A and B are shown apart, each in its own frame.
Chain A
Amino acid sequence: EDQVTQSPEALRLQEGESSSLNCSYTVSGLRGLFWYRQDPGKGPEFLFTLYSAGEEKEKERLKATLTKKESFLHITAPKPEDSATYLCAVRTSNTGKLIFGQGTTLQVKP
């Protein structure tokens, strides 16, 4: 069964304290791994798509990486405005539909 697991469930950081969020997946065939950001009361906002192992993408303080079994979202020197829930999802070759993890809620304190 295809599965996506994110860890930790919640993460508290001080402003400037770098860290990483993990997304591990077990799927029959990967056609893309997606990272989204979701603010309270809003819809998920697209951040990155990763296609294959070894790929990396960056946007401001965020960097996403992909291996054959997991993806990491690295946050460098976070600011309070980075506080949000970060969602990971995979698109599999069987169905083409997205399977989401449960998310990591990040709180960055000034």
Chain B
Amino acid sequence: NAGVTQTPKFRVLKTGQSMTLLCAQDMNHEYMYWYRQDPGMGLRLIHYSVGEGTTAKGEVPDGYNVSRLKKQNFLLGLESAAPSQTSVYFCASSSGTGGPDTQYFGPGTRLTVL
């Protein structure tokens, strides 16, 4: 039981390049989330999904797109990377069964945009 995994762990991009971050979970969770973490800013929600085929905007969605074609996977795309997107990206999942619904996090992807 791997929990939440993220690919890749590290990536360096040049301004204007595109890339996709992959998140996978093996807990059969309905809800999945993408956060970014920046020094002094805390964790901020980018996009989230409440089920296969659904996506919704979070607090800081601009410059990112997401897709949830399969229940266990949640993809985060950067179409044209900018230096402001240099950050550590975390994926999380939760069961979505109601109550406080604890989120479980992946190990993160460190992205640098030059």
Q: Could you tell me which A residues sit within 8 Å of B by CB distance?
A: 31-32, 34, 36, 41-46, 49, 51, 87, 89, 91, 96-98, 100-103
By a CB distance below 8 angstroms, the chain A residues around B44 are 100
State whether the Cβ of B15 lies closer than 8 Å to any Cβ in chain A.
no
Tell me if A46 and B104 are in contact (CB < 8 A). yes
By a CB distance below 8 angstroms, the chain B residues around A51 are 99-100
With A and B bound together, what is the CA distance between A34 and B103 in angstroms?
Answer: 9
Q: What are 18 contact pairs spanning A and B, CB under 8 A?
A: A34-B102, A34-B103, A41-B108, A43-B108, A45-B105, A46-B102, A46-B104, A51-B99, A87-B43, A91-B101, A96-B101, A97-B58, A98-B103, A100-B42, A100-B43, A100-B44, A102-B40, A103-B42
Residue of A with least CB distance to B103: A98
Name the contact of A42 in the complex, choosing from B40, B101, B107 (C-beta under 8 A). Answer: B107
Tell me if B58 and A43 are in contact (CB < 8 A). no
Q: Smallest Cβ distance from A34 to chain B, in angstroms?
A: 7
B interface bracket (residues with beta carbon within 8 Å of A): 20 to 34
Q: Could you tell me which B residues sit within 8 Å of A by CB distance?
A: 4, 33, 40-45, 48, 58, 90, 99-108
Given contacts A32-B99, A91-B101, A97-B48, contact A44 B43 (CB under 8 A): yes
By a CB distance below 8 angstroms, the chain B residues around A97 are 33, 45, 48, 58
Q: Smallest Cβ distance from A71 to chain B, in angstroms?
A: 13
With A and B bound together, what is the CA distance between A102 and B39 in angstroms?
Answer: 9
By a CB distance below 8 angstroms, the chain B residues around A98 are 33, 43, 45, 103
Q: Smallest Cβ distance from A35 to chain B, in angstroms?
A: 11
With A and B bound together, what is the CA distance between A95 and B11 in angstroms?
Answer: 32
